[in-house]
Amino acid sequence: MAEQADVIELWHKRKQQFLKEVAPYIRYMAQSGFPAFLALIGIVCIIQYVGLIKNVPPHLPIAWIGAIVLTPFLCYSPLRTYLKEPDLIFLMPAEHRLSPYMRLSSKRSFRNSLLLFFAVLLVFWPLYRQSDGYIGLWLVVVMLLLKPINSYFAWQERLLSWNNQRMLLRLLRWLLMFVLVLAWLMNASLLVEAVLTLAVLGLLYVVYRQMRKFDFPWQRLIIEEKAMLRRLFSFFNWFIDVQSEAPAVRPRNYLAWLIRAVPYRQSATFIYLHLITFVRTEIGGICIRLLLLGGLVNYLLAANRGMDGWGVVLSYVLFGLLLSLQTGTLRKVHRYAIWKDIFPLQVQLQQQQTITIDRLLNIVLLALLFLPTFPIWQGYGAQLLTMLVFFMIYPFVRSKRLAAVLKKEEDE
């Protein structure tokens, strides 16, 4: 009993430590006006959404929208364990006593992810009620069943010893869950959906059982914990300089052509460095996700001509600003690199190159974000013009501001 109390106390102590660590940054974030900005976006989205619910277009693919929106929240099963690298030495010998610790982590993490999922489902519900496949509370029952099963499978994935296997199985699970959610939302026949659900779950169970697993995935849990902290501190970095560890690196070979496109010139040295940093770190990852989300939202708003086409303008500007917030953190990654003071390139030249890559990235990202707005390219001149003006002016305005920031930092 005393041993159990020890590990439970350790869990609570670590949670408190974490809260204490992030509290000042949350304060800075709150002072920055970001919550007000989010609230404003929320209000605009609600107005849009209420408008959509009142006037649902006849052929709106509600089931597909629901599957796209609900599946990530259904499948995503994070696990906060507060484990750290030194635990591999100091806590590992006590692995057999860690059950209460891990139970606490699982319970809290599951509770949070369940609440988030049902919040999203609740938002979706008014739209869902108007779909042909509406089955009322049956959907809630099914989701209540699927959510813990996903958490269980996510844990099984963590136990897998091979990274590629884990990625592949996770992809398979997400795809199959997408199919299941879509089937339940379309509701051709309850019997078919029930059989399909049992078949999918059975298949996943059999596949997961075949795989070689660890008894306890120490490394995996520590990696996930570090990744979560890194994302959190990267977010705080938007508002205040946060000294955190080096960003996680991913090869992202599918973007290697971008890196190869940088010419071999001394005057492109820092463009080359920053572009690789963008492609391989979380900054690029967040931008890709924001681009996909922004593209989808822009397309839906443009297709639906929300707020007489001004909805998409607002969304375009908003996602453009969010993307530029991300590219803005790029200059901070190598701020303290010794090579900046050793390479034979004057500070001014380094700064110019930093500004150039920031501008180029913003132009490309804004152009990609612009493409899905095509449904309003005809007949909505003022809206189109507003977006084009933003696209053409903002990267250059931003460059001027960035130049001033870099100058100020150098003077300091």
Partner 1 sequence: MKTVLRVEQLSGGYSPKRAIIHDLDFEIKAGEMIGLIGVNGAGKSTTIKHILGLMTPHQGSIRINEKTLNDDVEQYRSGYTYVPETPILFEELTVEEHLRLTAMAYGVPEQQYLQQSEQLLERFHMVKKRKALTAHLSKGMKQKVMIMSALLAKPSLFIIDEPFLGLDPLAIRSLLQELMEVKQNGSAILMSSHILSTIEHYCDRFIMLDQGRIVAQGALEDMLEHANRQGHSVAHLEDAFYALLNGGEA
Size of the site for partner 1 (CB under 8 A): 26
The first and second tokens of residue 396, run together, are: 């250059």
Q: Considering only 35-43, 142-150, 242-250, 306-314, which stretch makes contact with partner 1 by CB under 8 A?
A: 242-250
Min separation Cβ 357 and partner 1, Å: 14
Rounded to whole angstroms, the Cα distance separating 301 from 318 reads 13
Which of 41, 69, 303, 345 contacts partner 1 by CB under 8 A? 345
Contacts to partner 1 from residues 276-295, by CB under 8 A: 276-277, 280-281
Which of 162, 339, 374, 396 contacts partner 1 by CB under 8 A? 339
For the chain, report the end-to-end CA distance as a whole number of angstroms: 56
Instruction: Using DSSP, state whether 160 is helix, strand or coil.
Output: strand
Which of 34, 272, 299, 310 contacts partner 1 by CB under 8 A? 272
The first and second tokens of residue 166, run together, are: 């884990």
Which of 188, 337, 397, 404 contacts partner 1 by CB under 8 A? 337
DSSP string, 83-97: --TTHHHHTGGGGGG
Q: Considering only 101-109, 115-123, 260-268, 362-370, which stretch makes contact with partner 1 by CB under 8 A?
A: 260-268
For residues 284 and 320, which CB has a smaller minimum distance to partner 1 in the complex? Answer: 284
Backbone angles phi and psi of 65, in degrees to 5: -60, -45
Q: Considering only 36-44, 47-55, 64-72, 262-270, which stretch makes contact with partner 1 by CB under 8 A?
A: 262-270
In a 10 Å sphere around its CB, with 0-12 CB exposed, 13-18 middle and 19+ buried, how is residue 20 labelled? Answer: exposed
> Which amino acid, 43?
I
Closest CA to 60 of 298, 379, 300: 300
Closest CA to 220 of 148, 142, 265, 166: 166
> Which amino acid, 234?
S
Q: Does 315 bind partner 1 (CB under 8 A)?
A: no
Which of 90, 254, 257, 264 contacts partner 1 by CB under 8 A? 264
Which of 31, 32, 189, 266 contacts partner 1 by CB under 8 A? 266
In a 10 Å sphere around its CB, with 0-12 CB exposed, 13-18 middle and 19+ buried, how is residue 296 labelled? Answer: middle
- Residue matched to tokens 């906060």: 80
Q: Considering only 67-75, 97-105, 330-338, 395-403, which stretch makes contact with partner 1 by CB under 8 A?
A: 330-338
Residue 116 burial (CB count, 10 A): 13
Instruction: Using DSSP, state whether 286 is helix, strand or coil.
Output: helix
Min separation Cβ 343 and partner 1, Å: 4
Q: Considering only 147-155, 263-271, 357-365, 380-388, which stretch makes contact with partner 1 by CB under 8 A?
A: 263-271
Which of 76, 123, 343, 386 contacts partner 1 by CB under 8 A? 343
Q: Does 254 bind partner 1 (CB under 8 A)?
A: no
Min separation Cβ 264 and partner 1, Å: 5
Three-state helix/strand/coil letters over 288-319: HHHHHHHHHHHHHHHHHCHHHHHHHHHHHHHH
Q: Considering only 84-92, 323-331, 332-340, 396-404, which stretch makes contact with partner 1 by CB under 8 A?
A: 332-340
For residues 210 and 346, which CB has a smaller minimum distance to partner 1 in the complex? Answer: 346
Closest CA to 167 of 274, 283, 261, 250: 250
Note the residues at the interface with partner 1 (CB under 8 A). 246-247, 249, 251, 259, 264-266, 268-269, 272-273, 276-277, 280-281, 334, 337-339, 341-346
